[in-house]
Structure 1
Amino acid sequence: MFNLSPLYFPITANPAQTSEFLPSQALQPYIRCFWGSAARGLHSEALVAVEDTTTYYEPRMETIIPDTCMDIIWNLNESTGLTTTVFSGINDAPFEVPSDRGGMISTFGIRFHFWAVHYFADDHLRDVLNAFVDVDQYFGTFKRELGLLLEQANSMKERIAAAEAYLFQRLERGGRTNDRMMNAVYTIIKQKGVVTAEDLEASSTLSRRQLERLFQEYIGLSPKKNADLVRFQNVWREMYHLPAQTKNMQDLIFTYRFSHQPHFINSFKKYAGRTPLEALVYAGR
């Protein structure tokens, strides 16, 4: 398969606050990162006092923006021994989650590049847009082949090693793919999401209708929405990494073919939940 990872590196809404670990080189074409947190034994939520002098925990909220990736998220409640594992599909809208759900929760995540999930999943991905479902729906052997090993692991390093072994086993079984569709994906990535339907038809030698069907089956969304999300991520990454004194929105508007500044701001806010300047403030930039 194409190794697209050197061309495209999506980031979160607040990259400085994430705990991400790159996979081994052999898995980098497929896996964006591993991530997670260990149980700490104490809640870190803010205590809030109310008028009757009782107190309650109000968790801080974290914004999740569309990063074009899909995740397997494994949680262990170390006080009860109970585990939950979910598959989070590709998202096309921002949402908020508690940044800390309790000190006894240990979390481990496998974040897939959007173009690679179909190499590992059991079935088509037509229903993954904004999905948050039990992992069995797409990875039927996960709990049996990896879940117990994650529980027994004593460190993030051990969990990553177990996850990589599981992923290599899945790859060896042979996944489903379509080379001509992947040519279209390559065009989207190489052109940073600034593509036309005609560009994709030419690079894949597939009709628009065929591409729509294949993208829905192997990625879970249309080629146009896929390109729009890739464009958003490239815009956001450029904004985040530019020095403050050189951040020029007009350059981004021109480079990424927005018709005017309101179009740029509205498009960005649709995916980030904030204006460009508000997003930079949230990320501490």
Structure 2
Amino acid sequence: MQLPPTAALSSIVKHYLILESDRNIHSNYRLFSDGNPGIVFHYKNQFKQLYHNDVAQQTQPRSFVYGQITHYYDLQATGSLGMVVVVLHPYSINALFKVSADELNNSTINLIDFYGSEVHEIEAQIQSAKCSHEIIAVIEKFLLKKMTAAYPTEAAFNQAISLIYQHKGIVTVEGLLKIIPVTERQLQRKFKHYIGINPKKFADVIKLQHFLKLLKNHPPDDKLAAIVYDSGYYDQAHLNNWFKKSSGVTPLQYRSNSNLLAINFMQM
């Protein structure tokens, strides 16, 4: 279930995802980047998480913050699934937590590390809530207290991110620099601070997400070639390579997966 934020939080929060299941006990899931960081609240069983450069699995905290994901990773359910994902705008890590966004890349940071013991009370209220709307109300009350800034005030960054979204990621850094009055080094620094990754990598993620949205509305029995070029890829081999690198599966494997919890989150 996807729910919008209240207007007062819309500059920080894109939307909320509420994911529930009592059937997927010990199922495996895969998560890859959609360009957005987030905050997760588990109110049932937590996932075990395995990054592909780690040896052992780690159980996720009851509530945590995650930054930009630069490579896919796998999760395993340990029981019934019940979680809220606060999907943030790409720049919201800096606004909410007052840290450079790149410090949280590929990280799962316990929310307590940022906000202390008051998080226990929020977690208890979420677990005792009777419905999804009560859960969201608890989270929004908490976030409204913590939000002291919204959109970054850097005009060059604002213009760059707007152009990337406007062109659905099909834009080069050189193209951005022809429009935005900054040097490449300045632009790289702004993206690292506010988003966590450089503008090229961010544009690549947005381009892939554009392809996934086209794929969602594409007839399942049609070949992918019709939307490859519309998504900004040179050919299907180029798409396949980038897709496999980003998600660990091919576009056809992704399309045949009937267990998508979100556009970048699927049961394996």
Distance 1:254 1:195 in 2: 14
From 186, 190, 195, the equivalent of 2:166 is: 190
Aligned to 2:250, which of 267, 272, 275? 275
- The answer to whether 1:21 aligns with 2:21 is no
Q: Compute the TM-score of the two structures, normalised by the length of structure 2.
A: 0.79
- 2:74 aligned with 1:96, yes or no? yes
Contact 2:11 2:151 in 1 (8 A): no
4+ aligned runs moved over 6 Å, structure 1: none
Q: 1:39 to 1:258 in 2, by over 3 A?
A: closer
Does the CA-based 8 Å contact 2:12-2:151 persist in structure 1?
Answer: no
Comparing 232-241 with 173-182, greater Cα deviation is found at 173-182
SS of the residue 1:168 aligns to: helix
1:195-254 per-position Cα deviation (integer Å, ceiling 9, x unaligned): 111222234321110011111111111111001111111111111222225x44323332
Q: 1:32 aligns with which of 14, 25, 46?
A: 14
1:61 matched to 2:28 = yes
Inter-partner Cα distance in structure 2 for 1:108 and 1:68: 18
Bigger mean CA offset, 115-124 vs 155-164? 115-124
**Distance verdict in 2 for CA 1:179–1:136, change over 3 Å:** farther
Question: 1:87 corresponds to which letter in structure 2?
Answer: V
Query: Are the counterparts in 2 of residues 122 and 138 from structure 1 also a CA contact under 8 Å?
Result: no
Shift of 1:77: 5.7
> If you compute each CA radius of gyration, which structure gives the higher value, 1 or 2?
1
Counterpart CA distance in 1 for 2:233 and 2:227 is 8
* Aligned residue type for 1:66: S
Alignment-derived partner of residue 225 in structure 2: 250
Pairing 1:133-282 to 2, within 5 Å after superposition: 133-138=109-114, 143=119, 146-171=122-147, 173-175=148-150, 177=152, 178-245=154-221, 247-282=222-257
CA deviation after TM superposition for structure 1 residue 179, in Å = 2.7
State how far apart, in whole Å, the 1-side matches of 2:239 and 2:118 are: 41
Partners of 1:149 and 1:157 in 2: CA distance: 12
| Count of residues in correspondence between the two structures | 244
Q: Deviations over 1:11-33 (max 9, x none)?
A: xxxxxxxx332223443443232
* Correspondences of 1:110-121 after superposition (within 5 Å): 110-121=86-97
Give SS of 2:39's match. strand
SS in structure 2 at match of 1:93: coil
The 3 A distance-change label for structure 1 pair 207 and 86 is same
Asked if the contact 2:69/2:106 (under 8 Å) is kept, the reply is yes
- AA aligned to 1:131 is S
Counterpart residue type for residue 264 of structure 1: L
Percent identical: 20
Q: Gapped runs of 5+ residues in structure 2?
A: 46-60, 261-268
**AA of the residue aligned to 1:158:** E
Q: 2:38 aligns with which of 71, 75, 84?
A: 71
Q: Distance in 2 between matches of 1:274 and 1:158?
A: 37
Separation (CA, whole Å) in 2 of partners of 1:154 and 1:25? 23
Relative to 1, partners in 2 of residues 1:77 and 1:267: Cα closer, same or farther, differing over 3 Å? closer
Other structure's SS at 2:103 match = coil
